[in-house]
Amino acid sequence: MPRFLDIEASSLSMDSYPIEIAWSDHQGIIESHLINPYAIEEWTDWDFNAQQMHGLSRKQCREEGVYPAWLCKRMSQSIKPGEIIYADGGPFDQNWVDVLFEAGSAQGYAQFRVIHSDAVMLPLLTKIELDEKKRWQLYEKLKLEARRMIGSQHRAEPDVQYLIELWRLSVSMSQAI
């Protein structure tokens, strides 16, 4: 099974930073952590509209969050150098991983790469003989089904679980032909 990642952030602005991150291993076991934004002096950006979506406050992140340095070390132990991890935020999630590792890692960067989850999902559906439009429609239906199975969204752990379920549905659909 591919590995998946999701990040919740302080906002969608250029000054945003990660406040929650989750990732899965190859068996689908998910690890999730809140991040303490007070640990990094420059991390002051905050969007209350984003807070309404994910439901996390700066206070909660401060009280329950881990330090970026600890998290970078933990992620580096868990995710091998050169490994690809998939996220439905693609470049956004890669950017927040970069922000995290710039702030919390002595190395200054993550040794793994984040790629959009479509890159691992869509090839599964190419085995099904459908034109491109119908393949995208099928993919959208699978996304809705995976989201229905998980229910909640805009938190890192359930969003990773959603990607795992979407991958499982895609595999199942591709094997049913």
What domains, with CATH codes, occur in the chain? 5-116 (3.30.420.10), 118-175 (no CATH)
Q: Which amino acid is at 63?
A: E
Q: Which segments within 11-130 are labelled E, that is strand?
A: 18-24, 30-34, 84-87, 113-116
Q: What is the pTM of this model?
A: 0.94
The pLDDT value given to residue 135: 87
User: Measured between alpha carbons, how far is residue 147 from residues 12, 27, 159, 162, 164 in Å?
Assistant: 22, 20, 9, 6, 11
Q: Mean pLDDT of residues grouped by 10 in the chain (177 residues)?
A: 97 96 98 97 94 93 97 97 95 96 95 96 85 89 94 90 96 81
**Whether 22 contacts 5, CB under 8 Å:** yes
The pLDDT value given to residue 177: 61
The CB density around residue 141, as the number of other CB atoms within 10 Å, is: 12
The CB density around residue 8, as the number of other CB atoms within 10 Å, is: 25
User: Measured between alpha carbons, how far is residue 46 from residues 15, 69, 116, 121, 157 in Å?
Assistant: 9, 21, 25, 33, 21
Per DSSP, the three-state class of 159 is helix
Q: How many residues are listed for the chain in this entry?
A: 177
